Amino acid sequence: MNKEAKYRVGDEIKIVSTNEIGNITKVAAVLGDGYNLYIVAVNGKEKMYSESNLDLVREKNPITDLDVTDVSVDLGLDTIVKDIISTLNLREIDNSLDSVRNACVLQSFLAINKEYDKEWDSIGRSVQKNSIFHGIVNGNLDNISTALVFNHILKRLNMDVKCIACNDEEGNYYLTNIVNIDDYYYYFDPYLEKNVYEERLKNNPNEIFQLSCAAVGSKEYCRFYKPLAVLDLDKVMDSTALPNNISDDSLDLGIIDRLFGDYYEG
């Protein structure tokens, strides 16, 4: 699979699905032939499109430099992030238990807490200036924002967490995260966790929250999602291959529940 972008900033392109003509303003993510993502300006409005939905009309000078998007979280949202870290008693990690606790507590908070719903959207957008994920093709903004918030907060705790671009069962783009625990990565998906819990509440309004989408191995997670690449949110909107040390098996949920409970006692 070719991991270079087919189009460049400044290229004039046609959007196949709408027959509109626009210009590439950013290469958003390099995921491979047909999967690469581009920000396209049409009549002054920017939206993200997949490569498979674009046809070249006229090529820009090929020496044009790509526009690199810097990472930034504004001070108001930074205060909210600090408050969340303090409220949840999240800790900079000393060992793998801290990694599990931080990730599980944060995922639970994002799944069941509605107090900061608007802030999740704002944090998710501000992690990449110009709302780079806002118009992601067939993407769900709630999923994107939640995944970016999870990623940003855990990185503030010096944790090894990576944002993963996926396709869901219908071929839509989807973001999730993997967290390094004892030299193996596990999937953590607070957005999926939220949906699973809400479905349970429909059947039983008194349902007690329990984690079910934390520290998931690839055998289980990849039944529903196809991971494409790691998105580099710290440098440029580029991608790298998935690490080869993603665990096949999930962590034992009983152990996670015990660690999760002990977190508040410790």
SS3 22: strand
Q: Does this model's pTM top 0.75?
A: no
The reported pLDDT for the residue numbered 177 is 96
The reported pLDDT for the residue numbered 130 is 32
- For the chain, which residues score pLDDT lower than 50? 1, 61-75, 123-139, 236-238, 262-266
Tokens of 81: 């992030």
Degrees (nearest 5) of the Cα angle 53, 150, 49? 10
Q: How far is CA 164 from the centre of its chain?
A: 6
The reported pLDDT for the residue numbered 63 is 32
The reported pLDDT for the residue numbered 73 is 41
The reported pLDDT for the residue numbered 138 is 36
The partner residues of 24 in beta bridges, in order of sequence, read 40
- Report in angstroms the alpha-carbon separations of 261 from 78, 196, 251, 254, 257: 28, 20, 16, 11, 6
Dihedral (CA of 142, 136, 154, 214) sign: positive
* Domain boundaries along the sequence of the chain: 12-58, 75-265
What is the longest distance spanned by two Cα atoms in the chain? 63
